[in-house]
């Protein structure tokens, strides 16, 4: 037990730094603008009764809502605290999974911790608009972390525990786990050790249980649900809006450089895989080869099924987000290959591997910035690489040098924001918005409807909705529900075009014909007395 205390404490420290410093965490800045109102209405059906986002929850096929609301019942904590608690736990699980994998390479605990720390820096997956380490506490965050944990458990041949972790990931977010489960299913058909059949059954059994649990949870889902159409097609008007509202799903809208970006990382990861092949456990080696391959295949598959066949299910499944595994596995394997090369004294090779491993966290355009010394991202990555390589060599030759490697594992968490000038998300929250939300929650009726007509595509209305628990008539972020609810566009689009697309109409009376009680503006209207105002917002009651 004492032998594991140090690594566990180090992983806990990495989790804390990752959460509170870099890459950091956010709330009500992206997907939680949708999930929080849904969760609040599932908890209390009297709030957000008129809100488009909260009326039809799309959480039937995930246990995200059951776990979050269950924590609320058991502990009395709010939605925010429950989501953050899950986010911290699953970040630790992801780091633990990578650490477990690193241990199997027989390079020592410090080296395994270094590999986990490198992955923990995160990376932006350009194109599909997803992250290796998500800032928001959403279902996908939890599922990806559990898949990384499952991979580490497979490396130690703990197939039942790996199946439990991956099965739980399936319950959180089905689209995020298909590369692992397809790869594992194929792996289960290949004979290996004498007890391979027993181990595979132990790994697959939790998946079967997860499918049953997910079916039961979907049937017990409270609230109004929209009937799911699995084999419908996307019509022209819906496609036009989807392309504008969610371009990340349409590969034809991507710059060609994005595809080259993933081909570069694929080449790097398979090169590292080949270098490590003699030390890789057979099962995990195959998984780490096949999962990124499925990520690469998701690009032509998505093009055929979404852009050619117009299959309505594709915007929900978003298969190209599996490209996350190309970058994540590339980081894990190239960092591991760098450690191996450094221990063998192959400095040029070690520097090359480490440079690739640390690049995704410093810049989204890796190929363009590699070897560009004028770019602060490259300078930060290069400095980190040199220090890591030096400490890896020292740790391999002098027994007492391993603490230096552990220290260097933590270094990039300060180097990336300080030297590379990485800013993962803008500062969205401010005191005036909190004040506005608090006033609306305390001083207006629960059924009140608000509109922010001069704020366009800004995220402010979504923050207000979740904090004030008051209906927002329409907002841009909420329009993302067209990916999940086929008929959502029939209500959302007319509202957007009539009240938001043109900006403020100049006359408060123009909004009286809509089901709107309060208009929130960023500038005062001459001759009109606001019912609330602060330095940023002016609220006018129109009904």
Residuewise pLDDT in 10s, the chain (543 residues): 566 788 899 999 999 999 999 999 999 999 999 999 999 999 999 999 999 999 888 888 899 999 999 999 999 999 999 999 999 999 999 999 999 999 999 888 888 998 999 999 998 898 998 999 999 999 999 999 999 999 999 999 999 999 999 999 999 999 999 999 999 999 888 876 666 677 778 888 898 899 888 888 777 665 545 555 667 899 998 899 899 988 999 999 999 889 999 999 999 999 999 999 999 989 999 999 999 999 999 999 999 999 999 999 999 899 999 999 999 999 999 999 998 988 888 878 888 898 889 888 876 655 555 555 556 655 566 666 666 666 665 555 556 666 777 777 888 888 777 776 667 777 788 999 999 999 999 999 999 999 999 999 999 999 999 999 999 999 999 998 988 887 888 999 999 999 999 999 889 989 999 999 999 999 999 989 999 999 999 999 998
DSSP H or E run through 533: strand 532-533
CA–CA dist 69, 505 (Å, integer): 40
- Which residue(s) pair with 521 in the sheet? 538
DSSP H or E run through 213: helix 196-220
Find tokens 């986010």 and name the residue: 87
How do the residues of the chain divide into helix, strand and coil, expressed in percent and rounded to 5? Answer: 65, 5, 30
Q: How many C-beta atoms surround the C-beta of residue 529 within 10 A?
A: 10
Outline where 221-346 has alpha helix (H).
236-245, 256-276, 282-302, 314-317, 324-343
Q: What is the pLDDT of residue 372?
A: 54
CA–CA dist 241, 44 (Å, integer): 32
- The CA distances from residue 475 to 97, 138, 458, 515, in Å, are 39, 20, 8, 14
CA–CA dist 359, 375 (Å, integer): 12
- The CA distances from residue 218 to 61, 178, 222, 223, 278, in Å, are 5, 19, 9, 11, 45
- Contact status, residue 478 vs residue 52, Cβ threshold 8 Å: yes
Q: What is the pLDDT of residue 107?
A: 84
Interhelix angle 324-343/109-120, nearest 10 degrees? 150
3-state secondary structure of 120: helix
- The CA distances from residue 464 to 208, 503, 515, in Å, are 41, 18, 18
CA–CA dist 73, 54 (Å, integer): 20
Outline where 455-537 has alpha helix (H).
460-468, 488-499
E strands of 74-220, at which residues?
124-125, 130-131
3-state secondary structure of 376: helix
Q: What is the pLDDT of residue 397?
A: 58
Domain-wise residue ranges, the chain? 2-30+61-418, 431-541
Interhelix angle 236-245/488-499, nearest 10 degrees? 60
128: phi then psi, degrees, rounded to nearest 5: -75, -10
- Contact status, residue 203 vs residue 186, Cβ threshold 8 Å: no
201's tokens: 């059954």
């Amino acid at each position: 037990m004492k032998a594991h205390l140090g690594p566990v404490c180090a992983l806990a420290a990495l989790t804390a730094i990752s959460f509170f410093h870099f890459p950091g965490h956010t709330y009500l800045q992206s997907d939680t603008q949708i999930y929080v109102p849904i969760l609040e209405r599932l908890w209390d059906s009297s709030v957000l009764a008129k809100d488009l986002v909260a009326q039809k929850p799309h959480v039937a096929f995930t246990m995200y809502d059951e776990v979050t609301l269950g924590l609320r019942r058991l502990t009395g904590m709010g939605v925010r605290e429950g989501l953050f608690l899950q986010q911290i736990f699953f970040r630790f699980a992801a780091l633990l999974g990578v650490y477990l994998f690193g241990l199997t390479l027989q390079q020592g605990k410090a080296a395994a911790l270094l590999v986990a720390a490198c992955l923990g820096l995160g990376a932006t997956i350009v194109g599909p608009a997803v992250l290796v380490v998500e800032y928001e506490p959403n279902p996908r965050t939890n599922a990806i972390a559990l898949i990384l944990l499952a991979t580490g458990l497979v490396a130690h041949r703990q197939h039942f525990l790996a199946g439990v972790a991956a099965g739980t990931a399936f319950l959180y977010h089905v689209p995020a786990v298909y590369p692992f489960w397809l790869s594992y299913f194929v792996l289960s058909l290949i004979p290996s050790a004498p007890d391979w059949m027993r181990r595979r059954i132990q790994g697959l059994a939790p998946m079967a249980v997860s499918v049953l649990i997910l079916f039961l949870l979907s049937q017990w889902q409270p609230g109004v649900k929209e009937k799911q159409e699995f084999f419908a097609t996307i019509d022209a008007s819906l496609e036009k809006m989807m392309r504008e509202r969610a371009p990340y799903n349409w590969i034809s809208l991507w710059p060609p450089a994005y595809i080259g970006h993933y081909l570069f990382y694929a080449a790097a990861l398979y090169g590292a895989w080949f270098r490590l092949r003699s030390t890789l456990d057979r099962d995990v080696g195959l998984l780490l080869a096949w999962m990124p391959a499925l990520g690469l295949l998701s690009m032509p598959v998505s093009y055929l099924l979404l852009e050619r066949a117009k299959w309505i299910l594709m915007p929900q499944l978003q298969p190209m987000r599996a490209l996350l595994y190309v970058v994540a596995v590339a980081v894990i394997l190239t960092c591991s290959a760098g450690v191996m090369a450094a221990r063998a004294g192959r400095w040029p090779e070690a520097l090359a591997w480490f440079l690739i491993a640390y690049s995704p966290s410093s810049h989204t355009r890796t190929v363009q910035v590699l070897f560009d010394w004028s770019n602060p991202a490259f300078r930060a990555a290069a400095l980190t690489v040199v220090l890591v390589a030096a400490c890896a060599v020292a740790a391999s030759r002098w027994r007492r040098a391993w603490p230096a490697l552990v220290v260097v594992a933590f270094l990039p968490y300060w180097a990336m924001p300080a030297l590379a000038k990485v800013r993962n998300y803008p500062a969205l929250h401010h005191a005036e918005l909190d004040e506005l939300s608090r006033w609306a929650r305390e001083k207006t009726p629960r059924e009140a409807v608000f509109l922010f007509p001069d704020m366009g595509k800004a995220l402010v209305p979504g923050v207000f909705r979740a904090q004030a628990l008051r209906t927002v008539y329409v907002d841009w972020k909420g329009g993302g529900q067209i990916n999940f609810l086929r008929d959502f566009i029939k209500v959302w689009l007319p509202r957007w075009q009539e009240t938001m697309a043109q900006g403020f109409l100049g006359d408060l009376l123009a909004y009286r014909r809509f089901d709107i009680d309060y208009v929130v503006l960023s500038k005062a209207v001459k001759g009109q007395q606001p019912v609330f105002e602060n330095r940023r917002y002016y609220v006018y009651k129109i009904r």
